[in-house]
Amino acid sequence: MERMGVQALLDEHFPQHGNWQGMSMGRVAVVWLSHILSQADHRLNQVQAWVEHHIETIGESLGQEVRGLDWSDDRLEGTLRYLSDDEDWRQFEAALTQRQIQVYDLRRERVRLDSTSVSGFWSASEDGLFQRGHSKDHRPDLCQLKLMLASLDPLGLPIASEIVAGNAADDPLYAPAVQQVRQTLNTNGLLFVGDCKMGSLSTRYLIASGGDYYLCPLSKTQVNEAQMQDYLSLVVSQQVELESIDYDYANGKTAEIAKGYEQEHECHIEIDGENRTWMERRLIVYSIAQGNAQKQALQIRIAQAQSELAALNQPGRGKKPWSDLASLTQATERVMAKHRVTGLFALNYCEQVTPVTQRKYRDRPAQVVEQRRFQVDFTLALSAVEQQMQQFGWRVYATNHPQAQLSLSQAVGVYRQEYLIEHQFGRLKGHPLSLKPMFLQREDHIKGLMRLLSIGLQLLTLVEFQVRRALAQQQAELAGLYAGNPKRSTAQPTAERLLASFKEITLVLIHVKGEVYADLTPLNPLQQRVLQLMNFPTEIYTRLGTQSDDPP
């Protein structure tokens, strides 16, 4: 964090009130973030005791005497209130990003945009952040807020974030994110990559009109059923030649994952009463894995529907025959809807009339009556099934990037790296940043915490980037990071494993006759190697005490 300039930039962009005493807000935030990264716990009441337990290490690292009171609950709440200021945060975030791009010589070519929701046991308030909406955490019963994140590819470095109400639609969040990225990076020719919610016509026009490029799949709103059929008819009639799309896996193997073709398309949008046009490429792509999975799933649903339809015609104990057509029709439609096979069966309802002899009962004589029973005959509509299977696995992507710099195969490969930003969301919500479960209740505190954790997200990303780049330059791999398999090596270590390799270091202070002796656990070869890859001197540890195998 010192190399990133976190403390200096925080103090510069968040000037503290005159009543603020002791450690600056920037130093408080840096130490608190260190606690979160090492303990995976953002609770405010845990920090002061942790600082007091590590007071010698923290004091030596900061180069000044420290006291635990500087990390009391009140001081941390004040830090969160400073971080919740929108205007100060935007200026700080832009300055922090620009510094990392300069220090680490990062490429500014591709930006990935996506949003996630964060839910908690909060109470909804009118015009507040906590609202109920579509939950990506699968907790629609809880209030939530939303986070829009822009990350710089290929390392996934967060460069811009926006926190909005939990009931906000995703589509309108992309335009402000694009503008924020442009102000931060101060360059054009960027490729913005996002999911289908970025595919609205207005967002694509905003990107294209600003001299940038976009790549995103199009939803059924952008490409309706008739247009999709037109694209697929060219494939069925073999009027287009499909291009094979290969993917290079991390293990060195290459396999065909998709195939497709592309067409030019003219886009139109009306802005301030004027019709604006631009050209884009439509990439019609068939995913082999997705197509096979969808076909297999359809076959399973068809078999289940056939079994349940047959059961409708089978009488049984306690099961009355269908005496009216309306009830049988409703039951059949429920089965079709349940398994999503509506239109894939030819249904024929028929009535059976069977003479039944009723026995004599008291004054009623024995008699023969007609029993009416309805049943449904069904056959699989093979042409409808085949037509539906032809659509499986196909998706339309849109981009205005020139083909010379981004081919069809390259575009598919770029979009398939969507896991980069999803991995960042996983880090933010899980270990080690541990945004969930959320222990805070106030909106300004939660907003400030999410922004503090976004700094931690950037830190983890840069740790990975530094080590991986050094290994790539040396054409080497790092071994010893995997518990139980010390010989296993990797050229793509995660920041979490790199940090975990230092967890066994212990500083022991021994007081003898008024003097203090310090003994530090010697750094093992793996730890020394990691520090070397990160371009850190071993003195950041050894200065804490005299390394010795024997106590003084």
Q: Count CA atoms within 13 Å of residue 198 on its CB side.
A: 30
Residues in the chain: 552
Assess if residue 97 is contained within a domain: no
99 domain residue, yes or no? no
Using an 8 Å Cβ cutoff, are 203 and 178 in contact?
A: yes
Distance CA 438, CA 449 (A): 10
Instruction: Provide the CATH number for the domain around residue 156.
Output: 3.90.350.10
Is there a single domain that holds both residue 305 and residue 336? Answer: yes
Residues 120 and 179 in one domain: yes
- Amino acid (one-letter) located at 256: E
Considering only CA atoms, which of 229, 226, 259 is closest in space to residue 241?
259
The domain total for the chain is 4
191-193, strands of its sheet edge to edge: 157-165, 143-152, 110-120, 191-193, 213-217, 394-399, 274-287, 254-271, 243-248
One domain, residues 410 and 451? no
- Residue at 1 is within a domain: no
The distance in angstroms from the start CA to the end CA of the chain is 33
Structural domain contains residue 92: no
Task: Give the position of tokens 């994110």.
Answer: 177
| Separation in Å, CA 273 to CA 141, 201, 269, 270 | 43, 16, 10, 6
In this structure, the answer to whether residues 272 and 314 fall within a common structural domain is: no
- Same domain as 359, residue 230: no
| DSSP annotation string for 275-326 | EEEEEEEEEEEEEHHHHHHHHHHHHHHHHHHHHHHHHHT--BTTB--B-SHH
Q: Are residues 123 and 225 in the same domain?
A: yes
Query: Among 326, 358, 389, where does a domain finish?
Result: 389
Q: Does residue 382 share a domain with residue 249?
A: no
374 and 238 belong to one structural domain: no
Q: Is residue 350 part of a domain?
A: yes
| Whether 203 and 141 share a structural domain | yes
Instruction: DSSP letter for 491, please.
Output: S
User: Looking at the domain assignment, is residue 66 inside a domain?
Assistant: yes
| Residue with token string 């974030």 | 161
- Same domain for 532 and 413: no
Say yes or no: 66 and 147 in one domain: no
Same domain, 191 and 319: no
Nearest to 476 by CA among 513, 429, 529, 399: 529
Q: Is residue 101 part of a domain?
A: no
Alpha helices in 197-271 (DSSP H): 201-209, 225-236
My answer on whether omega of the bond before 154 falls inside 30° of 0, hence cis, is yes
The pLDDT tens digits along the chain (552 residues) read 999 999 999 999 999 887 888 899 999 999 999 999 999 999 999 999 999 999 989 998 888 899 999 999 999 999 999 999 999 999 999 999 999 999 888 888 999 999 999 888 888 888 888 898 888 888 888 899 999 999 998 888 999 999 999 888 888 999 999 999 999 998 889 999 999 999 999 999 999 999 999 999 999 999 998 999 999 999 999 999 999 999 887 677 888 999 999 999 999 999 888 899 999 999 999 999 999 999 999 999 999 999 999 988 887 666 777 878 898 899 999 999 999 999 999 999 988 777 777 787 778 887 776 677 888 999 999 999 998 998 999 999 999 999 999 999 999 999 988 888 888 999 999 888 988 888 899 999 999 999 999 999 999 999 999 999 999 999 999 999 998 898 999 999 999 999 999 988 888 888 888 888 888 889 999 999 999 999 999 988 888 875 444 444
**Domain span holding position 144:** 109-290+392-429
